[in-house]
Structure 1
Amino acid sequence: MKKLLTSSLFLIVFVFSFAQNSSIDFEIKNLGITVDGFFKNYTVITKFDDSDNLIDFSSEIKAKSVETGIDSRDEHLLEEDYFHTLKYPLITLDVAELYKKPNNKYSAKVNLRIKGKVKQFTIQLKVEITENQRKITSNFEINRKDFHVGGGGFIMGKTVKIAVVHVEKI
């Protein structure tokens, strides 16, 4: 279970800051049961143009900030077979290409780095802008095995579902 949670969290590498109402959550199957968690410490940097179009973003997650609700599992996720936080303290996400679509939606080709491994894939984003805040949301999946997180066992699923919400004041 710990391995599944850790894998999910690191994927969330993706993206957002300590702003109020922001979160990076994940879930993974372990022995057929859904295990969930989140990262406590992360930063997200966004850039918007004068017309409030998203033009760039990046994120950095402190891998040791993973939380699953079980302290012993969280500690295990910090070890070499999961996040190996002594050697790889950060999970990062950078945009390679960003395309605006209708209705404030975006398609982003991103580079996710976990445990020194980089994987490029495409995620979808939605931007909602009000008078005093910008909210960016994204839901995507990653394969924990692409990043050598959690070993090769069949007990833990390989798909990690990630949900990111980033809220920043204008």
Structure 2
Amino acid sequence: MIKYLLLTACIVAPILLKAQTWNVQTASTAFQASMFGADVDGTFKGFKGTIVFDPTHPEAASISGSVDAATLSTNNSLRDRHLKEKDQFFEVAKYPRIAMKSTKIEKTAAGYTGTFDLTLKMVTKKVTIPFTFTKTGPNGVIKGTVEINRKDWKFGGNTLGMSDKVKLDFELNLSAPVSENK
């Protein structure tokens, strides 16, 4: 009898620990940098990604996504063109996407912490991002904020007056696939 219980547990446990795959309904990706002490806010659109996440088993999670670099907007067309075209900045024709992929996700007292590989212009660096996950019925929201050093990605060169620190904010509004909502 014990053998059968152990066998059943071995078969059922992986099914119960299966992380849920979420559909991204909307995504908001924003950044803030300082230029001569004044904050410059910007956004990116065109998020594409895969979110596999179970809040009770974050170790089984996998979060990856990218944004379309050409959608950069700071509400200043001259600055946007400069940021998109110049070689010390995004070079969107050559590097069309900015991507990140989780390598580890852990539960914390305040939510979760993810270790991600962030790739900008072929330079990949690890970043640790604290984030929250809120579930309401079949839907969920992931929100996170992190501050990075732009020079770690060889970004911005020695631009006069530009701070090294850049704040990144993201919010993913999720819904579970129909088959998983039942």
Shorter-chain TM-score bucket reads 0.7 to 0.9
- 1:132 and 1:92 map into 2 onto residues whose CA distance is 27
Q: Does 1:46 align with 2:54?
A: no
The alignment partner of 2:70 has SS state of helix
Higher share of residues assigned helix? 2
Q: Does 1:95 align with 2:102?
A: yes
Whichever residue aligns with residue 44 of structure 2, its letter is F
Return the offset for 1:102: 4.1
Q: Does 1:84 align with 2:91?
A: yes
Q: Greater Rg, structure 1 or structure 2?
A: 2
Return the offset for 1:154: 3.6
Q: Looking at both structures, which has the greater relative contact order when contacts are Cα pairs under 8 Å and sequence separation is at least 6? A: 1
Return the offset for 1:101: 2.5
Q: Does 1:56 align with 2:69?
A: no
Residue 156 of structure 2: aligned partner: 150
Residue 165 of structure 2: aligned partner: 159
How many residue pairs were aligned? 151
Which ranges of structure 2 fall in alignment gaps of 5 or more residues?
1-22, 177-182
- 1:45 and 1:90 map into 2 onto residues whose CA distance is 15
Whichever residue aligns with residue 29 of structure 2, its letter is I
Task: Evaluate the alpha carbon distance shift between residue 153 and residue 124 of structure 1 in structure 2; reply closer, same or farther with a 3 A threshold.
Answer: same
Q: Percent identity?
A: 28
The 5 Å alignment of 1:15-30 reads 19-20=25-26, 22-30=27-35
The alignment partner of 1:76 has SS state of helix
Give structure 1 regions of 4+ aligned residues with deviation exceeding 3 angstroms.
Answer: 51-54
- Give TM-score, length-normalised by structure 1: 0.81
Which ranges of structure 1 fall in alignment gaps of 5 or more residues?
1-16
- 1:132 and 1:59 map into 2 onto residues whose CA distance is 21
The alignment partner of 2:80 has SS state of helix
The 5 Å alignment of 1:125-144 reads 125-144=131-150
The alignment partner of 1:146 has SS state of helix
Contact 2:24/2:175, CA 8 A, preserved across alignment: no
